[in-house]
Amino acid sequence: MNLKKEEVSKFVKKSVDEVQIVDLHTHIFDLRFKDLLLWGVDDLLTYHYLIAEVMRLSDMPYDEFWKMGVKAQSDFIWKKLFIENSPVSEATRGVITVLKSVGLDPAKRDLESYRKFFASKKVDEYIDLVFKIARIKYVIMTNDPFVE
């Protein structure tokens, strides 16, 4: 069978778009873990890669940053990495990808509207949305903090 380049490209794209994945090392904690299950835009923005990035970019002392609550940390990271600078790192692009994937407009740069979106969701509803968008079949937690 001789397929044209366009046909092969179309087939590969369709296959990738339809495949379900298995996350073999998830960071999605079970709902029973309560506060260990981080979700929402503030937890997204205070991911450790973004904290490290903002610490390199700002003059704020590290200890001062950790005295702030999560919302204030998130506001600071948003301002420094997304408002005052272009989001160009892999970690900042990840935030943009999440916002776009759930139907939000990152070009608005409106953190409060993003917070409202996440506040309108229950955590299990949001996880279901993520599974659907990412075509996740199931996840395996290899880092269960309650298992020795």
| Mean pLDDT in residue range 67-80 | 97
Q: Do 125 and 133 contact (CB within 8 A), yes or no?
A: no
Model pLDDT for residues 94-107, shown as the tens digit of each residue: 999 999 999 999 99
Token code pair at residue 113:
């509207």
Q: Which domains does the chain have, with CATH numbers?
A: 21-139 (1.10.2020.10)
Q: What is the pTM of this model?
A: 0.81
Can you tell me the distance from the alpha carbon of 63 to that of 117, in angstroms, rounded to the nearest whole number?
31
Model pLDDT for residues 17-52, shown as the tens digit of each residue: 888 888 777 777 778 878 888 889 999 999 999 999
